[in-house]
Amino acid sequence: MCFSSSPEKHLEHLTEIFNRFRQANLRLNPTKSKFGMAEVIYLGHKLRRHGVSACEDKLEVIRSFHTLKNAQQLRSNLGIANYYRRFVEKISMKTPNLRSLLKRDAKFVWNSVHNQVFEFLKKMLYARALFWLFEHAKTVYLIDRCLLHRNIFHPLTIG
């Protein structure tokens, strides 16, 4: 992925990237490449010009649950919450009551304390807060899956 502050800079960055690919004897598949996108969905995150946020359809799973009925539903929801933990500061310190229901011999009894923590967690996750802003002057590493097992990284400074 390549982020740029303007279309002109984007062309410069793409030229540099293509040159680096040529130097490393790497090829791009044109049918899998997209250019000039305003936003990109990647691994459940929406990447935009101003930062990164969670995909709403992924968070809809948590938002759609009203009252959790069993440990499996709770485990599933905590898994999604953990994946998006960057949205909620110190999430593990805010969910011990929920996690206590997942202990080995714990009986699953949902009460108002659990419900209050779960509702708080849903609201915080669905707030769509930005958790990372792209810094254009940083070094970006191009990693090809084929080269990953040989620890070959191609540093690329974009500024």
Structure tokens at 11: 């062309």
The answer for residues whose C-beta is within 8 angstroms of residue 141's C-beta and 6 or more apart is 153, 154, 155, 156
- Three-state DSSP state, 142: strand
Structure tokens at 58: 């992924």
Report how far residue 85's alpha carbon sits from residue 105's, in angstroms, rounded to the nearest whole number.
27
- Residue 114 confidence (pLDDT): 92
- Residue 13 confidence (pLDDT): 86
- Residue 11 confidence (pLDDT): 86
- Residue 55 confidence (pLDDT): 78
Successive 10-residue mean pLDDT values, the chain, 159 residues:
78 88 87 82 77 75 79 89 77 88 92 90 67 48 44 43
- Residue 127 confidence (pLDDT): 66
Q: Residue 111 gets which letter from DSSP?
A: -
- Residue 149 confidence (pLDDT): 43
- Residue 90 confidence (pLDDT): 81
The answer for residues whose C-beta is within 8 angstroms of residue 123's C-beta and 6 or more apart is none
- Residue 142 confidence (pLDDT): 44
